[in-house]
Structure formats: C-alpha cells, structure tokens
Amino acid sequence: KTSKVQYYNNPMWPGEAHSLKVEKILYQGKSPYQEILVFESSTYGNVLVLDGIVQLTDKDECAYQEMVTHLPLCSIPSPKNVLVVGGGDGGVLREIARHDSVETIDICEIDQLVIDVCKEFFPNLSMGFKDPRVRLHVGDAVDFLRNSTEGKYDAIVVDSSDPIGPAQALVEKPFIQTIARALKPGGVLCNLAESMWLHTHLIQDMLSICHQTFKGGVHYAWTSVPTYPSGVIGFLLCAKEGQPVNFLTPVNPIEKIQGATKAGKELRFYNSEEKPKESVSKSQKIQILLNN
C-alpha cells in the first residue's frame, strides 16, 4: 500500500503543500525535541522529516549540503577549525572533510536520536561522522556557543531546522553575536536563511542583525532544493572584520584541493564557476544528478 505524507497548514508556508509518494515507512519515533520520520519515497530516495517538515532526501541533499559548506569554506584561504551547528545527519561533515586544510570539525547537534536514525537510514550522509577530525557535542548550540572560546573558528556553518521549536533562538541577535565572538578575525559564517519566495520579512530581520554584527561583509546566496518549500533555500554569508573576505570569487577553489573531488567522491552540485562555462561540464553535472 502506498500513501502520501503531506505537510500543509504550516504557518511558515500557509496555503501550500508539497507531496511525495511514500513507498515504505522506515522509521517513526519521538525524541525529547521533535517527531522523527524516515520513509522511502518513490522518486527521491529516503526522506528525513522532522516535525512534519522535510529536512533532506537522498536525491537533492547535495544541492544543500555542498552549497552550505563550500560557499563559506572556499571563500577563506585555509580553513582549520570549523563548527557545524545542527547537521546531525552528517552531510555537512562529509563536505567539510573534503578540505584537507581542516584540522578540527566540531559539531553541536541537539538531538542524539537524529544522529542515530541517520546512521541507520542515510549512510551516504552519516559517513561524515567517520572522519577522525570530527568531535561530536550533543546539546543546544545556544549553550555551546555561549561557552565557546573567543576567536576559535575559521568558519561556522549553521545547518539547523526552520526557526520554530529548538532552532528558534538560532536566528536571534544574541546567538548571532556569540557566533561572531567565536570566529577568528576574517572568519566566516554561513547561516540558513529560508526562502526568498516565502520569508522576505524573516530574511530582512536576519540581514539587519547580520549587518549590525558582521562588519566584514554580508551576502545572500541561494540554491535550488526541490523538496524544500518553494523549491529554494537561502543562506546568509557573513564575514567577521579583520581580514578581507570576498564571497563572490572563491580564493580556495575546491577543484584545486588535492583529492577533494576525486573519482568516487565527485561533487554533484557545487562548482567554482559562477555558472557552468562549457556545455560538456554542464551536461556531465546534469547526468550525475540524474544517475543519482
């Protein structure tokens, strides 16, 4: 029997819904923080849903994880200490691990059950936890950053849920200020910033907080993720003053990092070009996406 999992009547996107055909429910459970559902879909592979909201699918996760990671990490010369907020699936860890300059990867995820469930049903993402540079901290990122050493990180990636429930505080000014404190001069933040089609007010609020907090520059970027509401998701790229940071041209291009994109672990979405220049590389990229 097949059925549909729908998410609608969500105040974050009133009046619209997206549905995926369910082949099989693989897991259903409840942690102290959220309801967790994993199902096998007929066209997007396995799907992780938290509190009724799709967080990732096997098919399109690359467009999110690669962009949220390489946009910040490729814009600084040699990232060494990196922090991931949220990201319990491990996908962002997998992407950070491509950078051989990186020495430590801290991750602060609030929900141990998300980590355990992803280890079972999303091996291509949770493989990120196997990197020896990873140090897992299970807890609220608000407390973690409050207690973090000043000037510790070269880059921080906020890969957290929508700002309702446990992630609400993560878009507010006090939290953004603790992130800035934890970064080195010239360090960078990539923060999830919702959809430009649905959340212009939220984005504007976040932009103004980030402009007040980060004097080294703030940019909005976005990518296409068909299973997220409205099909796009945005990021706020912010630089702490102290070293010039140019988010528009990668100073640390991923293609030049040895082994970062070697056979068997090619990138599926991100590249350093503003847009693909040669039709060959473009069609290859589309092919890889289709094969997935």
| Residue 77, both tokens | 């010369």
The closest of 166, 186, 152 to 83, measured between CA atoms, is 152
| Residue 15, both tokens | 């009046």
**Residue 145 touching ligand AAT (CB under 6 A):** no
Find the binder of ligand AAT among 55, 126, 223, 227 (CB under 6 A): 55
Instruction: Find the shortest distance in angstroms from Cβ 158 to ligand AAT.
Output: 9
Of 128 and 216, the one with the shorter C-beta distance to ligand AAT is 128
Q: What CA–CA distance (Å, rounded) separates 269 from 272?
A: 10
**Residue 141 touching ligand AAT (CB under 6 A):** yes
Active site residue 131: no
Please give the single-letter amino acid code of residue 288: I
Find the binder of ligand AAT among 71, 97, 167, 171 (CB under 6 A): 167
Q: What CA–CA distance (Å, rounded) separates 203 from 280?
A: 36
Site for ligand AAT in 191-250 (CB under 6 A): 192, 228, 233
Q: What CA–CA distance (Å, rounded) separates 226 from 234?
A: 13
The closest of 66, 73, 70 to 285, measured between CA atoms, is 66
How far, in Å, are 44, 54, 70, 190, 195 from residue 5 at the CA level?
13, 10, 32, 30, 22
**Residue 95 touching ligand AAT (CB under 6 A):** no
Instruction: Find the shortest distance in angstroms from Cβ 109 to ligand AAT.
Output: 5
**Residue 148 touching ligand AAT (CB under 6 A):** no
**Residue 93 touching ligand AAT (CB under 6 A):** no
Find the binder of ligand AAT among 60, 106, 140, 154 (CB under 6 A): 140
Contact positions toward ligand AAT, by CB under 6 A?
A: 53, 55-56, 85-89, 91, 108-111, 114, 140-142, 159-162, 166-167, 170, 192, 228, 233
